[in-house]
Structure formats: C-alpha cells, structure tokens
C-alpha cells in the first residue's frame, strides 16, 4: 500500500490524485453545445445535483478546444452512453478531429443543442453557473428537456478503460 500525504504548502501530486480515482468507476456521458459551431466532449464527471429543480453538474478543462463554445453557450446537451458506444466515447474524448462528422449521427434539438442519436438518454440543460476549479470549470445546469430509452446498459469508465456492466 502506498500512502501519499500533502500539506497546504506541499500539495498532493496530480499523479497520486489520479491514482486514487483510477479505482472509481464512473458513468460515461458526452456533453455537447452549439455557439457558432457544434462542440462536445466525453465526461465522466457528470453528477445529478437535484431532482427539484432538475439540476446536473459536470466539469470541463479550459484548455479544451471545445471550451470557447461552451463558454459562449446558454444550453448544453447531456448524453448518457450505452455500453455499445465505446467508439463514440473515444471519438469525443480525442482532440483534433471533427467529432460531429460521420459516422457520428446527430441532429439539432431544443435550443439548437446537438443531440446524439442512439444514446440511452439525453437532457437539454440551461447553464445556470460556471465555477472556477483549478484548470477546469464546474458547470451547473438545469434540465429543460429529456428523453430516455425504456431499457439499456450504461457505459462505464474505470482505470482508463471503457467497460460495460456485462464486462464485470
């Protein structure tokens, strides 16, 4: 067992922090926005904040090529991925390529938000707050529209690998 400690003067290293979170399995979502162009990224930081009013949060790196679009957007699309959508998660996690080009299937939804086809569920959310958090921003958003499939299994992320419930 490795024990890492830090103090206010000498903080815990980023690598030690990442090592801890490699043990944390998380659901995989793709978050999209449109402000002049479509943008999106893969997120494992999605969290339900409240049911009344329906509110979610997620974090995003300000060094991301998508950040300028999200910074200007008023609404976002939050997509819960199915375990069969590992390629979609990987495409939106990669930097550089046009994430909305074929084979990605999508359409414009409420408020012009890009909605991905074939996902387990989606929300369209109005951005309520953006909070600085290191090199990231924590976005808090209120859901204004939603759709979900009657059944399906979610995609998970654990120890730098995408997995489904059937893999466990």
pLDDT digits 0-9 by tens, 37-90: 999 999 999 999 999 999 999 999 999 999 999 999 999 999 999 999 999 999
Which homologous superfamily does the CATH classification assign to the domain defined by 26-167?
Electron Transport, Fmn-binding Protein; Chain A (2.30.110.10)
pTM, two decimal places? 0.89
Residue whose C-alpha is closest to residue 28's, from 86, 69, 67:
86
Are the C-beta atoms of 29 and 155 separated by less than 8 Å? Answer: no
pLDDT digits 0-9 by tens, 22-41: 888 899 999 999 999 999 99
pLDDT in the model for residue 47: 96
CA atoms within 13 A on the CB side of 122: 21
Task: Give bridge partners of residue 38 from the DSSP assignment.
Answer: 34
| Domain residue ranges of the chain, discontinuous segments joined by + | 26-167
Bin 119: left if φ > 0, else alpha if -120 < ψ < 50, else beta.
beta
Highest mean pLDDT among 61-65, 97-101, 103-107, 123-127 belongs to: 123-127
């Amino acid at each position: 067992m490795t024990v890492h400690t830090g103090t206010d003067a000498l903080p815990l290293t980023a690598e030690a922090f990442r090592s801890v979170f490699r043990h944390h399995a998380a659901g995989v979502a793709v978050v999209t926005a449109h402000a002049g162009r479509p943008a999106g990224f893969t997120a494992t930081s999605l969290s339900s904040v409240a049911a009344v009013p329906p509110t979610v949060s997620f974090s995003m790196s300000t060094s991301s090529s998508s950040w300028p679009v999200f910074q200007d957007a008023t609404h976002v699309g939050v997509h819960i991925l199915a375990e069969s959508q590992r390629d979609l998660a990987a495409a939106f996690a990669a930097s550089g390529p046009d994430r909305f080009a074929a084979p990605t299937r999508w359409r414009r939804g409420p408020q012009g938000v890009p909605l991905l086809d074939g996902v387990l569920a989606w929300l369209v959310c109005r951005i309520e707050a953006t909070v600085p958090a290191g090199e990231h921003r924590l976005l808090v958003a209120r859901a204004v529209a939603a759709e979900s499939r009657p059944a399906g299994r979610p995609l998970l992320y654990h120890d730098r690998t995408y997995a489904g419930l059937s893999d466990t």
